[in-house]
Amino acid sequence: MEFLTMKLWSPYLVGIGIGILSWFTFLLSNKPIGCSTAFARTSGMMERWFIGNKVDEKLYFKEFPAKIDWEWMLVLGIFIGSFLSAKFSGEFKVQWIPSVWLATFGSNITPRVLTAFLGGIILGLGARWAGGCTSGHGISGTLQLTVSSWIAAVCFFISGIATAYFIYYRIGG
């Protein structure tokens, strides 16, 4: 079982593994792998704490009910799968600042957390706006040869690359 304790696998093997996993989700669950609706549903579940069942009357939550579904369980599973993988290889490490950030923007925690928070808001907004994220459009949609998913994936990378260059070579440069 040595492969379970390896720190990294070849990206090609990981990709093939995800591709094969998607055969099974289509076959056994009639679902493509996706992650971002789980976050929208969670926001609805949290809104329920404040406005109760009125949340179910909102247009968005009529289409994507604010409750736990297959995809929500999938996202929950990711935390556990990642934790197990990191534990097996001794890679689990509590860490505030990634080293690439640290080298450019220093070791102060607050700017990194605020940036992550802001980035998260934009990402969550954009994912639901586009109707999918790197998994739902980027992997599951493109592998079905969906036109909208190929367009979305190209847009993710165009603005992602432009923004990363701006952050690291303009602001940080």
Near other proteins in 122-141, by CB under 8 A: 122-141
Residue 77-106 contact track with other proteins, rule CB under 8 A, x = bound? xxxxxxxxxx--x-xxxxxxxxxxx-----
**Using CB under 8 A, which of 76, 106, 107, 108 touches other proteins?**
76
Cα–Cα distance for residue pair 28/165, rounded to 1 Å: 42
**Please, what is the minimum distance in Å from the beta carbon of residue 173 to other proteins?**
11
Q: Which SS3 state, helix, strand or coil, does residue 71 take? A: helix
**Using CB under 8 A, which of 48, 65, 72, 105 touches other proteins?**
72
Q: Which of 84, 68, 74 is nearest to 18 (CA)?
A: 74
**Using CB under 8 A, which of 57, 59, 170, 173 touches other proteins?**
59
**Please, what is the minimum distance in Å from the beta carbon of residue 1 to other proteins?**
13
If binding is defined by CB under 8 A, does position 51 make contact with other proteins? Answer: no
| Angle subtended at Cα 151 by Cα 149 and Cα 152, rounded to the nearest 5 degrees | 60
* Window 141 to 170, contacts with other proteins (CB under 8 A): 141-165, 167-168
If binding is defined by CB under 8 A, does position 18 make contact with other proteins? Answer: yes
If binding is defined by CB under 8 A, does position 65 make contact with other proteins? Answer: no
Cα–Cα distance for residue pair 137/149, rounded to 1 Å: 5
Interior/surface letters 39-51, b for 16+ CB within 10 angstroms, e for the rest: bbbeebbeebeee
**Please, what is the minimum distance in Å from the beta carbon of residue 2 to other proteins?**
13
What DSSP character marks residue 135? T
**Please, what is the minimum distance in Å from the beta carbon of residue 97 to other proteins?**
7
**Could you identify the residue written with the tokens 């995809």?**
71
**Please, what is the minimum distance in Å from the beta carbon of residue 141 to other proteins?**
6
CB 33 within 8 A of CB 21: yes
Show the tokens assigned to 92: 């689990």
If binding is defined by CB under 8 A, does position 31 make contact with other proteins? Answer: yes
